[in-house]
Amino acid sequence: MTTFDDLRLSDSTLQAVKDVGYEKPSPIQEQAIPPMLEGRDVIGQAQTGSGKTAAFGLPIIEYVDPGLREVQALVLTPTRELCIQVTQAIRAYATRKGVDVVAVFGGAPIRSQQAQLKDGGHVVVGTVGRVLDLISRHSLVLHDCRFVVLDEADEMLDLGFLEDVEKILGLTPNSRQTALFSATMPPPIRGLADNYLYDPVHVKVVSDTLTVDTVEQFRLEVKQSDKAERLVELLAAEKPDQAIVFARTKIRVDQLYKKLRDGGMNVKALHGDMSQGSRDGVMLGFKGGRVPVLVATDVAARGLDISTVTHVVNFDVPISPDVYVHRIGRTGRVGRQGRAITFVEPKQRKELEAIERHVKTDLTPWTPGARTKASRDGASAAGTEAEVVQTAAMEPVELEVGMPAAEAPTPGKPRARPRRHTKPQLTRSADEPYVRLLAGVGAAAGVEVADLVSAVTRATGLDGEAVRDVRVLQRFALLSVPESEATRVVSDLEGVEVAGAQLRVALARS
């Protein structure tokens, strides 16, 4: 069995790996880290949740020299949600080496991000549009950038960012090392790799357990004219805790959303034509469990990584078997059993056969209450022993926030509505002291890093970059904020709702 010690990482990086609780490398980490450490360009094909952030994040930390002030590595992401998640992860890996990681994304004050880049920033993680904007303002200079990562490249393609990505790559040194990660490899992404990567190592990881052991797969043969009505019947019969219904186009998403909503169902739509604020609201509601059914395009749902999704419905057959695997991977997570039902029109038999060859199993005909043979035989998936040990080691039996009695809410007394600050501090010193806060919500309530960061920034007026070192454990979460604003932040966050739970926040005791 390969360990992180076998990957030839430095002592400080190995210690950082232990600090974040990783015990053994995932397949994508095991295969991608060695060639990256050798200086090779890499194409990594892996699904969300496979551990690819560490696969490129750990080699970046190995490369960067904290003694130099220049930007030495750039990670491009398609969405600000992914930007925040990747930034928090790389910061955790970088702690022991003193590498400065700066996040730049739209929807946050650009002057604050300019100030952070001026103070330093060895690694920049950014969305494509904001990176180009900062380059045009001469605030982000990539002359010394030795390492570039394109994360979720297929989503950048779907969002129309590929031309801008090429502009950014053209402003980096020809001698750079480049890594491209993508769940699928459509022809334009292959073309991008051919043009900008030199003799790349191709790493492809597809988890068999993702599609066979933890997800029951069904097909429902239906005429196109009957599909919408059959969807209503299917959802009524399946009674999903949470379901994602995938449609191929934005127009189809809107049509299905209106039909389900008019039928009295609690449903939301998600697609690329919606404003960022609307998308954020829908995603937070779905992640918090307040929305049981989400109708979405592939692009819009790409950032959703939620362990509580019980069903995936492919209203439209995916455009490729890889996309099918990516879609149904939204359910059957963290040892839970999931169900995936694919609508198949008579003319789509060939597409169905291609999917069945790819996943090496025949899709079972769906009827109300139908089960697959594997499920009937009692097949199930559970968390790995390492995951169980890791969770047990990190999770205390009882959470005590340690809030002073005077600040504790009185039973039966309504909480004061938190103040909303609209003028965040626009410049921050790189040497500004930070303090640790303890929040009484965790992964058990469905909370994720992006949820917590979003709640903090909305309630306190801090920009996303000022919320650092976020770790979401089972029953609680830890985060760092500027020491000068900690008291106000604790006050503003008291009673704020995250994933359906009200926050209790206090300074963490050392």
Q: Where are the domains of the chain?
A: 4-204, 208-376, 395-507
- C-alpha distances (whole Å) from 294 to each of 283, 359, 472 are 9, 25, 24
* Rounded Cα gap, residues 280 and 283, in angstroms: 5
CATH code at 208-376: 3.40.50.300
**CATH code assigned to 4-204:** 3.40.50.300
Express each pLDDT in 239-297 by its tens digit.
998 999 999 888 899 999 999 999 889 999 988 778 777 877 888 888 778 889 999 98
Q: Is the distance from CB of 379 to CB of 217 less than 8 angstroms? A: no
395-507 in CATH: which number?
3.30.70.330
> Which segments of the chain have a pLDDT < 70?
1, 47-49, 206-213, 299-305, 307, 333-336, 372-431, 464-465, 474, 509-510
pLDDT score recorded for residue 72: 95
H or E element in which residue 311 lies: strand 311-314
- Measured CA to CA in angstroms, residue 188 lies from 75, 155, 178, 429 at distances of 20, 12, 17, 42
Cα 30 to Cα 26, 186, 209, 232, 465, distances in angstroms:
6, 25, 18, 44, 30
Q: Listing from the earlier edge strand, what are the strands of the sheet with 267-270? A: 267-270, 293-296, 243-246, 311-314, 338-344, 215-221, 364-365
Q: Supply the pLDDT for residue 384.
A: 33
pLDDT for 299 equals: 67
The total number of residues written for the chain in this structure = 510
Structure tokens, 3: 């360990």
The pLDDT value recorded for residue 303 is 55
Same fold, 4-204 and 208-376: yes
- pLDDT score for 367: 86
- Tens digit of each residue's pLDDT (9 = 90 or more) over 185-198: 888 999 999 999 99
Q: Report how far residue 30's alpha carbon sits from residue 35's, in angstroms, rounded to the nearest whole number.
A: 10
